[in-house]
Amino acid sequence: MSTYKILHSGQSIGTLETTADGLYTVFTARCEPVLPRLRLHVWGENDHAYLGLMLPENGALYLRRRLSRLECSKLPRPILYAAGEETAPPAPDEWRPAPDGTLRRLEGGVELVAVPRERARVPGVPRQLLREIDGREYLVFPL
């Protein structure tokens, strides 16, 4: 199972989960009702794909889609997050959140991952690995 954030106006408003169901992959999305309906897209680094229309259900917006392997092959790889169609992909030089709590960035053709220093638990960290991002210390590594 994988979990991705659903973003609206730069804020996380819900989650998109993927689970295996035999030969299919099930996408289940639930979020706050910030709009009456939300046309949900999954976003990768350079592209996005329409997943479906989120509709109200039990006080939240909800979507469940069951996709075949062929349908999944048309989605961006890797999926970074889900959002409405009005959301533009992040600029290549911006740090973007990953589902595992790290930050990702493309710099000079190399993908970097930033791990919060308090989560890293590494003694004697070399100074060249440390960066301050939005007022917080991170350890930055190339992938």
In a domain, 91, yes or no: no
Tens of pLDDT, residue by residue over 113-133, are 888 877 766 677 777 778 888
Q: Are residues 101 and 72 in the same domain?
A: no
When divided into structural domains, the chain yields a total of: 2
Q: Are residues 14 and 68 in the same domain?
A: yes
Confidence (pTM): 0.61
CA-to-CA dists, residue 113 to 56, 79, 94, 97, angstroms: 36, 15, 12, 10
- Among 55, 84, 113, which residue terminates a domain? 84
Q: Are residues 57 and 24 in the same domain?
A: yes
In which domain, by residue range, is 33 found?
2-84
In a domain, 17, yes or no: yes
Tens of pLDDT, residue by residue over 65-109, are 999 999 999 999 889 899 987 655 555 557 888 877 888 887 766
Q: Among residues 80, 64, 77, which one has the least CA distance to residue 27?
A: 64
Q: Are residues 23 and 59 in the same domain?
A: yes
In a domain, 90, yes or no: no
In a domain, 44, yes or no: yes
Strand partners, 16: 4, 29
Q: Are residues 51 and 103 in the same domain?
A: no
